[in-house]
Amino acid sequence: MSTVTAAKRLIPLLDRVLVEKIVPPTRTAGGILLPETTAKLNSGTVIEVGAGLKNKEGKLIPLDVKKGDTVLLPDYGGSHIKLEGREYVLYRHDDLLGILEE
């Protein structure tokens, strides 16, 4: 076995994207409690972005999301990881549905 390590940061490989899930708000901006039935967006913030996939000539094709983007997540899939006590999910670029803007 290799030497012990305490990882602080994960650089996704290839076309993977590291996302931290967003807790859907339970109150409005003004503080009013939202009804349980309010539809909740399955979204997250992009923490790290892989370098992308190489084409046939070895040229890197970058991904379409960047750090800080808020992305709409699929209902399934993703690899769950815990780093420094925080929960993250690793997705393939192709599985991310879209970029959410306020």
Nearer residue to a second copy within complex by CB, 8 or 36: 8
Minimum gap (Å) between residue 36 Cβ and a second copy = 15
Q: Measure the CA–CA gap between 87 and 19, rounded to whole angstroms.
A: 9
End-to-end CA distance of the chain: 47
34 binds a second copy (CB under 8 A): no
One of 2, 31, 33, 35 touching a second copy (CB under 8 A): 2
49 binds a second copy (CB under 8 A): no
Are 73 and 93 within 8 A, CB to CB?
Answer: no
Please tell me the number of Cα atoms within 13 Å of 96 on its side-chain side. Answer: 28
Are 45 and 93 within 8 A, CB to CB?
Answer: no
Per CB under 8 A, residues contacting a second copy are: 1-14, 16, 18, 20-25, 29, 39, 41, 43-45, 48, 50-51, 54-59, 61-62, 64-65, 70-72, 74-75, 79, 81-83, 87, 90, 93-94, 96-102
